[in-house]
Amino acid sequence: MKKPDASFEVIACDPTSRAVIHVPHSSTLIPAWVRDHILLTDQELVRELAFMTDARTDEIACAAADNATVRPWIFLNRRSRLVVDPERFPDPADEPMAAPEIGMGAVYTRTAHGGILRDDDAAHHEALLDRYFRPYATALTQLVEERLAALGQVTIIDLHSYPLVALPYEQLHHPDAARPECCIGVDPTHTPPALKDAASAAFATLGEVGVNEPFAGTYVPLAFYNEGDIRVTSVMVELRRDTYLEVAGGMMSVTGMLTTLIDTVDAQP
């Protein structure tokens, strides 16, 4: 299901699957009217996208879905996170990454290295939220509501990647964090121990698996997060990019691991 010029795509799959793979940061697409407000040169923007894009996570998600016993649902962001970041809290007061020295709330104002990405323009900020952030959040909320109505439970697998060497903006937020081959992000309310353990086991052969390090938490739509609705469970999977981009057969390996996690989620009673 993809609407014309939509900033997202919902890939509908097996109606009996409780799994939704969320892929928020794989795109490099920036619409022209948004590009006009970005202060980087074309060369600088290409470099910034290379730093900030979760490269090929959309391919990993789709390939894993193809291989799963019960095909999961997929929710893909079709715009770069430099347009809006759908995983941030929209209110800067609630979002630690919106701090002026980091500048990475729902609408980024700074680059990975602390430079100015765009002016802190309130009108443009609001236009981006209206055009991209809010419709995206609404659509993902509706998908979860539909899955809950059908099955009574939903598990979000929130798929990301990160570089081997910490970027400067990361060092501002968590300067001493380890960088294992895989990071599992958990939430105290929405990630039950069995889900954390299943994710850790699925990616154990990749190497060291950390929990909430270097990145913590996982995505839950605000409508369910604010209510603490435990029918919605979620786990974040962060893959270190070198493990699948720089190793022969790496893409196939991590795809198989994600398939294992999907199958475990859908096999649970």
Instruction: For residue 61, tell me if it sits in a domain.
Output: yes
Contact 117, 109 (CB under 8 A): yes
Angle, in degrees to the nearest 10, between helices 193-202 and 250-267: 150
Report residue 81: phi and psi, to 5°.
Answer: -65, -15
pLDDT of residue 1: 45
Contact 256, 67 (CB under 8 A): yes
Q: How far is CA 154 from CA 62, 111, 149, 178, 213, in A?
A: 19, 34, 10, 30, 25
pLDDT of residue 91: 93
Global confidence as pTM: 0.96
CA distance 215 to 158: 12
Ordered DSSP codes for 66-88: HHSSSPPEEEEE-S-TTT--TTS
Instruction: For residue 28, tell me if it sits in a domain.
Output: yes
CA distance 91 to 77: 20
pLDDT of residue 173: 75
Instruction: For residue 102, tell me if it sits in a domain.
Output: no
Instruction: For residue 66, tell me if it sits in a domain.
Output: yes
Biggest CA pair distance of the chain: 52
| Host H or E run for residue 157 | strand 154-162
| Host H or E run for residue 11 | strand 8-11
Domain span at 157: 8-81+130-267
pLDDT of residue 5: 53
Bond from prior residue into 214 cis (ω within 30 degrees of 0):
yes
Go through the chain and tell me how many residues it has: 269
Contact 169, 113 (CB under 8 A): yes
Q: How far is CA 104 from CA 22, 109, 111, 118, in A?
A: 20, 6, 8, 11
pLDDT tens string for the chain (269 positions)?
Answer: 444 457 899 998 999 999 999 999 999 999 999 999 999 999 999 999 999 999 999 999 999 999 999 999 999 999 999 999 999 999 999 999 999 999 999 999 999 999 999 999 999 999 999 999 999 999 999 999 999 999 999 999 999 999 999 999 998 877 889 999 999 999 999 999 999 999 999 999 999 999 999 999 999 999 999 899 999 999 999 999 999 999 999 999 999 999 999 999 999 87
Whichever domain contains 220, its CATH number is 3.40.630.40
pLDDT of residue 4: 42
Number of domains in the chain: 1
Question: DSSP H helical segments within the chain, as ranges?
Answer: 32-35, 42-52, 57-67, 122-128, 134-151, 168-173, 193-202, 222-225, 242-245, 250-267
Residue pointed to by tokens 């980024």 = 108
Instruction: For residue 115, tell me if it sits in a domain.
Output: no
